[in-house]
Amino acid sequence: MKKVAVITGGASGIGLAIARRFIEGNFKVIIVGRDTIKLRAACKTLGDESDFFSCDLADLTAIPGLVQQVIDKHGRIDILVNNAGINLKKPILDVTDEDYQKIILTNQTSAFCLTRSVAGFMQEQGAGCILNISSMASVYGLPYVIAYTASKAAIEGMTRAMAVELSPAGIRVNCIAPGFIKTNMSSVALEKDPERKGKVLSRTPMGRLGKPEEVANAAYFLASDEASFITGVILPVDGGNSIGF
Ligand code: NDP
């Protein structure tokens, strides 16, 4: 029986690359996002072993229903990738309470709610794998992304807390901390700010941005049985950015 993987934000960027890699690795893939047109187009490229559900994960009340729909249609969830995320680049003094709450809700609280819902089913299955996506923002102080940074630091703390509680039930919980990866999100942040891009590249020993496929390969490894004794890990996939000077 094929493993069933749910990937949030799976219609673009890093999430889509993970979806492609999982399909290559013989998983069935369910992608989740808000934009139905984008989701349908992504599934067309992913092929018959993919499906999509449209859901705004910032609406926490919709999450248990979403999980039940996936279970009703596909029977199980073996892997959950909490990849959906948004960014906001603003100086601290300009960030409103609403701005801040929206980022925390989308990037962190929704990942907690979805994991709680899915982990219940995984516990009954006696096995499962949760993969969170954090960021270099949780490693060092990046200016102008205060809410994003708080959300991603929380994702890493949550990864460890989830791993100690869920691993005894056979549910491994890990996290990937991508460096600067070429997607729409990073293009918005870097292409209009050459100074920031120069700084990123100068402290990345490999001297380039990463490709979504390079994050996807790490995600596949962590989701596969090859990583059967790995839990609670935060894996940077960053060309050395986190240790660069
Ligand atoms: P994209 O903007 O391409 O992807 C983000 C995805 O999240 C979209 O597919 C979007 O789908 C989905 N999404 C956003 N908000 C919601 C919501 N409320 N409900 C459901 N889905 C939502 O960016 P990336 O691929 O670059 O980012 C993916 C992840 O990787 C993010 O968590 C990001 O923080 C992280 N990351 C990215 C880095 C980079 O350099 N690119 C570096 C470090 C971390 P839709 O619009 O349909 O809702």
CB 163 within 8 A of CB 205: no
Catalytically active residues are 148
Could you tell me the pLDDT band of residue 35, with boundaries at 50, 70 and 90?
Answer: very high
Give me the chain's average pLDDT, please: 97
* Distance of alpha carbon 198 from alpha carbon 36, whole angstroms: 36
Could you tell me the pLDDT band of residue 53, with boundaries at 50, 70 and 90?
Answer: very high
- 197 CB near ligand 1 (under 6 Å): no
Q: What angle do CA 90, 159, 165 make, to 5 degrees?
A: 145
Could you tell me the pLDDT band of residue 206, with boundaries at 50, 70 and 90?
Answer: very high
Q: What percentage of the chain reaches a pLDDT higher than 90?
A: 94
Atom of ligand 1 nearest to the CA of 11: 9
Determine which residue's CA is closest to atom 23 belonging to ligand 1: 185
- 12 CB near ligand 1 (under 6 Å): yes
Collect all residues with Cβ–Cβ distance below 8 Å to 65 and sequence separation of at least 6.
none
- 58 CB near ligand 1 (under 6 Å): yes
Q: What is the pLDDT of residue 192?
A: 85
pLDDT > 90? residue 203: yes
pTM of the predicted model as reported, rounded to 2 decimal places: 0.98
- 86 CB near ligand 1 (under 6 Å): yes
DSSP state of 138: G
Could you tell me the pLDDT band of residue 151, with boundaries at 50, 70 and 90?
Answer: very high
122 alpha carbon – ligand 1 mean position (Å): 25
Atom of ligand 1 nearest to the CA of 39: 47
Could you tell me the pLDDT band of residue 29, with boundaries at 50, 70 and 90?
Answer: very high
pLDDT in tens, 161-190: 999 999 999 999 999 999 999 998 888 888
pLDDT in tens, 89-134: 999 999 999 999 999 999 999 999 999 999 999 999 999 999 999 9
Handedness of CA 79, 77, 69, 47 (dihedral sign): positive
Per residue, what are the HEC states of 56-82?
CCCCHHHHHHHHHHHHHHHCCCCEEEE
pLDDT in tens, 9-28: 999 999 999 999 999 999 99
Q: What is the pLDDT of residue 189?
A: 80
- 210 CB near ligand 1 (under 6 Å): no
